[in-house]
Structure 1
Amino acid sequence: MQEKPDAADLLATARDVVLRELLPALPSEKALAARMVAAAIALALRQGAAPALTDTPDLAKLAAEIRAGRHDPGLDSHAQVAAFLRDYARARAAVSAPKALG
């Protein structure tokens, strides 16, 4: 059991300070940098909250198998590999680009 505030609470507070207190006080040429810091903190928060991916195959090996045609449509493994790739892409997008998911 972790005491409060935990890392996520501290990051959320830091992001809030950057956006609400520091950004308005910064010169306009520093606004982009402050927004980038806030975006990086938000990504770190999503990454920390994301469930761990389990049963993830060796992605380099899977990519080589796909390039070699071992999971082409019509083969027994096609549906399973396609489902994994869909789920994997959604999980990655939920962290890196949640707006892309709608």
Structure 2
Amino acid sequence: MREQPEGAALLAIAREVLLRELLPALPEDKAYAARMIANAMGIAERQLREGAGPQEEEHRALAALLQREGGLEELNRELAARIRQGGFDGSEEAWSLLWASTVQRVRESAPKALTAPDWK
């Protein structure tokens, strides 16, 4: 059994201390770097909380769309190449995969941006 709090919670605590206690005491020329670090910590925390599920789901969807197996990075490269060649013009399945992937990435990197009613 792991010590409590777990990794994601530890990152959240450390990020909070950085933003609330350390950032105000930093010279102005160091504040931007501290905010970048806090942002990276927030992304890492959200990725830890989500686990591997989103990547596994993306991998399955890519393999189904491309009708072949391969690594996630490899399949993403092939999808991009085929899109550039017009291979998925008008494809609802490709659009859905890209939309789901975009929403997941925004969930991790900037979740407050998902407040618009169109985001699912």
TM-score band, normalised by the shorter chain? 0.7 to 0.9
Normalising to structure 1: TM-score of the pair?
0.80
| RMSD, aligned CA | 1.8
Structure with larger Rg: 1
Quick one: distance in 2 between partners of 1:93 and 1:59?
Answer: 17
Cα distance, 1:49 vs structure 2: 2.0
Amino acid at match of 1:27: P
Q: Which residue of 1 aligns with 2:105?
A: 92
Q: Which residue of 2 aligns with 1:71?
A: 88
Please show how residues 8-87 of structure 1 align to structure 2 within 5 Å. Answer: 8-50=8-50, 51-53=53-55, 54=57, 55-57=60-62, 58-73=75-90, 78-87=91-100
Gaps of 5+ in 2: 63-74, 116-120
Larger helix fraction of residues: 2
1:80 partner SS: helix
Following TM superposition, where does structure 1 have runs of at least 4 consecutive aligned residues deviating by more than 3 angstroms? none
The number of residue pairs the alignment matches comes to 98
1:101 partner SS: helix
Normalising to structure 2: TM-score of the pair?
0.70
Gaps of 5+ in 1: none
68 and 27 in structure 1: CA distance in 2 versus 1, 3 angstrom threshold: closer
Cα distance, 1:67 vs structure 2: 2.0
